Chain A
Amino acid sequence: MSQPPFSNMFADIVGHTPYMKAIGVRYVGTGPDGVTLALPYRDDLVGDPETRVFASGVVTALLDNTCGMAVWDRINEFKPIATLDLRIDYMRPAMPDNELKATAKCYKLTRSVGFVRAFAYEVSSDDPVAAAQAAFIISNPALRAKA
């Protein structure tokens, strides 16, 4: 009998992350493409009132968080992780009044590092607002104790 997937906890985890709660991020789901979070449009998270586009920093936070959860999905249990680096390419402005989604997949996992790719988009990841590449350090208390 296998244990339930750790992704069952993701909605709760997002709900208990103060900053995610503050900007209004919600958990959408986990599938073969990875983990998806969504951020409904809000005027106070705008970067430029003239264009009413989400600030790039908002996209950064959404992508960072989604990438981290993709690592948890891949290891399928809770371990402390920390973002090592995060690169984001901004392809186009997000559309005002639209919910922004982010989908992240951990495509390679070693004992201590998770490598993740993610896209932020409104409708489809084929038409991205931004793309991210991230690396996460995974804490392994057992390994550390041995060393």
Chain B
Amino acid sequence: MSEDLSKLARKESCHPAQVLAGIPFAQYLGVYVELAGDELTAHLPFQDKLIGNPMIPALHGGVIGAFMEITAMAQLAFSEKFDHIPKPIDVTIQYLRSGKPVHTYARAVLNRVGRTVANVEVSAWQDQKHHPIATLQAHFLIG
């Protein structure tokens, strides 16, 4: 397969904030990104609507999963300069702690970016980075 057949055309540069601006659902969740050089941190400010269990209260597991998926997409698009949003093939989420009703952060690591598939790992945390509330492993179709 030649390079120009690739579904995901590359751009000169790609700002992750633009990637997120192109995802209505990321706007709905209120996700934004912060860049320190080439290091990307995604932020999910707390909102009442993100609660899954009002008795604890805890963030909805689906919110944490979605936030980590969006972080993976933003990191992938940013590092690889994609002009499209990468599509997930599969995601596996491990829930480690209940998500408190506070600000949540996430960072992604690209384990491997091949010709057709990328493997990405994400960790989400709240008050302590070394005590993640959840981790995600995902494969994205990129070719």
Contact = CB atoms under 8 A, between A and B. Distances in A.
Interface in B37-54: 48-54
B143 interface: no
Among B24, B63, B89, the most chain A Cβ lie within 10 Å of the Cβ of: B24
A58 B61 contact: no
Contact of A18 (B26, B54, B85, B91): B54
Contacts of B48: 18
A13 to B, nearest CB: 10
Contacts of B98: 82
A65 interface: yes
Contacts of B90: 87-90
Given A19-B50, A57-B62, A90 B89 contact: yes
Interface residues on A, range: 35 or more
Contacts of B65: 57, 60-61, 64, 86
A39 B67 CA distance: 19
B142 to A, nearest CB: 14
A97 B15 CA distance: 30
Contact of B69 (A21, A48, A57): A57
Contacts of A54: 25
A114 to B, nearest CB: 14
A85 B65 CA distance: 10
A47 B25 CA distance: 6
A88 B22 CA distance: 23
A60 B24 contact: no
A45 interface: yes
A55 B28 CA distance: 11
A61 B24 contact: no
Interface string A69-111: 0000000000000111111111001000000000000000000
A58 B67 CA distance: 10
B9 interface: no
Interface in B79-118: 84-85, 87-95, 98
A44 B27 contact: yes
A68 B61 CA distance: 10
26 contacts: A17-B53, A18-B51, A18-B52, A18-B54, A19-B50, A19-B62, A19-B63, A22-B50, A43-B24, A46-B23, A46-B25, A49-B22, A55-B23, A55-B25, A60-B62, A60-B69, A60-B93, A61-B63, A65-B60, A65-B62, A85-B95, A87-B92, A88-B90, A88-B91, A88-B92, A89-B90
A-B pairs, top 4 by smallest CB distance, nearest first, are A61-B62, A57-B66, A55-B25, A22-B49
